[in-house]
């Protein structure tokens, strides 16, 4: 069985991407969570990968790190994780690559916090520019699919790459176009997004209980 090593569900956006791809693959895997920002993390992650970051996928003798690499590995094993149509597949890879390497201001100013609701931050020019760019990506992809709930009709790796942004925009009440707003709502209702959210809440309760136990 494959093993996916992740960080805290509430904060680890890259872990969420890889986990969603594996859940949608339909293949069995076990999840190992390593608490981020702890003295034990560096030692624990080193047992899985010298890269020192989550997520990490262990499949027998093979170790794959980086969310995009994990997604591509799974796409070679399971048909349908990328769009079937070649033009859609090319576009899906392009927008996924842009998400993978860009949007630094969104990452910095709007950190992922799945459990948070109703947060507000001032919109700098650069933050507004990046939000507008994502809104345009989503709207253009969705308009090609006649308003389908996923960016390319059926769920794909592109939706996984933007899933943390869905959580971010939901948490920070970001104003979007009608198509993009509907996309956020539909993705938030996705069963695997809800499964991740539920686990993040349970994770918080576990950490709180551990902290209380340590203080007694």
Averaged pLDDT for residues 23-44: 95
- For the segment 174-213, what is each residue's pLDDT rounded down to a tens digit? 999 999 999 999 999 999 999 999 999 998 766 544 433 3
User: Is the domain of 67 the same as that of 91?
Assistant: no
Q: Give percent of the chain above pLDDT 70.
A: 94
User: Is the domain of 54 the same as that of 90?
Assistant: no
CA angle 189, 184, 29 (to 5 degrees): 55
User: Is the domain of 50 the same as that of 113?
Assistant: no
- 117: domain CATH number is 1.20.1050.10
Q: What is the pLDDT of residue 206?
A: 63
Q: Which of 79, 105, 140 is the last residue of a domain?
A: 79
Q: Which of 79, 103, 138 is the last residue of a domain?
A: 79
Q: Residue 4 burial by CB count (10 A; 0-12/13-18/19+): exposed, middle or buried? A: buried
pLDDT surpassing 90 at residue 146? no
User: Is the domain of 74 the same as that of 28?
Assistant: yes
CA distance 5 to 57: 6
User: Is the domain of 180 the same as that of 128?
Assistant: yes
Task: Tell whether 151 is covered by a domain.
Answer: yes
DSSP at 156: -
User: Is the domain of 45 the same as that of 106?
Assistant: no
- Asked if 20 contacts 32 with a C-beta cutoff of 8 angstroms, the reply is no
CA 9 to chain centre: 10
Q: What is the pLDDT of residue 103?
A: 98
Q: Which of 79, 96, 124 is the last residue of a domain?
A: 79
Task: Tell whether 206 is covered by a domain.
Answer: no
- Number of separate domains in the chain: 2
User: Is the domain of 111 the same as that of 184?
Assistant: yes
User: Is the domain of 26 the same as that of 113?
Assistant: no
User: Half-sphere exposure of 18 toward its Cβ, with a 13 Å CA cutoff?
Assistant: 28
pTM here?
0.93
User: Is the domain of 151 the same as that of 173?
Assistant: yes
CA angle 154, 13, 150 (to 5 degrees): 15
Q: What mean pLDDT is reported for the chain? A: 93
User: Is the domain of 31 the same as that of 93?
Assistant: no
- 12: domain CATH number is 3.40.30.10
Averaged pLDDT for residues 146-150: 77
Task: Tell whether 212 is covered by a domain.
Answer: no
**Distance (Å) of CA 120 to CA 65, 133, 182, 201:** 33, 20, 20, 21
Averaged pLDDT for residues 73-84: 97
Q: Residue 113 burial by CB count (10 A; 0-12/13-18/19+): exposed, middle or buried? A: middle
Q: Give percent of the chain above pLDDT 90.
A: 90
pLDDT surpassing 70 at residue 52? yes
Domain span holding position 133: 86-192
């Amino acid at each position: 069985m494959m093993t996916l090593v992740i960080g805290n569900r509430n904060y680890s956006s890259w872990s969420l991407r890889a986990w969603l791809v594996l859940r949608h693959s339909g293949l069995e895997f076990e999840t190992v969570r390593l608490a981020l920002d702890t003295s034990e993390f560096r030692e624990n992650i080193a047992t899985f990968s010298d890269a020192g970051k989550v997520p990490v996928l262990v499949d027998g003798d093979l170790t794959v790190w980086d969310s995009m690499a994990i997604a591509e590995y799974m796409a070679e094993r399971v048909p349908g994780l990328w769009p079937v149509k070649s033009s859609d597949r090319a576009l899906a890879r392009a927008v996924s690559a842009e998400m993978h390497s860009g949007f630094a201001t969104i990452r910095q100013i709007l950190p992922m916090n799945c459990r948070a609701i109703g947060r507000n931050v001032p919109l700098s020019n650069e933050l507004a520019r990046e939000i507008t760019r994502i809104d345009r990506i989503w709207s253009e992809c969705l308009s090609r699919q006649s308003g389908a709930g996923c960016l390319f009709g059926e769920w794909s790796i592109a939706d996984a790459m933007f899933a943390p942004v869905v959580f971010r925009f939901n948490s920070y009440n970001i104003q979007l176009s009608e198509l993009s707003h509907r996309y956020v709502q539909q993705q938030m209702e996705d069963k695997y997004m809800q499964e991740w959210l539920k686990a993040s809440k349970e994770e918080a309760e576990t950490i709180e209980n551990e902290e209380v136990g340590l203080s007694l």
